[in-house]
Amino acid sequence: MVNISSLKPGDRIRIVDQWERGCNENTQGLMDKYLGQVVTVHEIRNRIFGGEPYVTIEEDNMYLYNGGDKDRRWIFNAKTVAEIVDGGDDFDVGDIGDMKTLLSGVGF
């Protein structure tokens, strides 16, 4: 388990391989595609009730599928983050989050 408060936007993290008690995953399996995946932290937030911090990720931007009216993303708490990933060896050219990271340094 990772200390969510130590993360910052742009950090790469690996999501756990399977959901466990306390992960608070979507019970319909809509978050399952992220299991075991390396993803990019979009934002760190604190819950209104309980103060448990969580992250949203770049790769999950549901507003693209909801008419673009709101930035809605799944939330991932500390129990869902297996590790912080060092380096860029998990770079995937087909991954929009990785492409944003690559292009942000180019000056477009």
pLDDT digits 0-9 by tens, 54-63: 999 999 876 5
SS3 21: coil
Instruction: Compute the distance between CA of residue 32 and CA of residue 29 in angstroms, rounded to an integer.
Output: 5
Specify the pTM. Answer: 0.70
pLDDT in tens, 16-25: 999 999 999 9
Domain containing 62 equals 4-104
pLDDT at position 62 is 66
CATH code, 22: 2.30.30
pLDDT in tens, 77-105: 999 999 999 644 445 555 666 666 666 66
Instruction: Give the total number of structural domains in the chain.
Output: 1
The strand pairing partners of 53, in sequence order, are 46
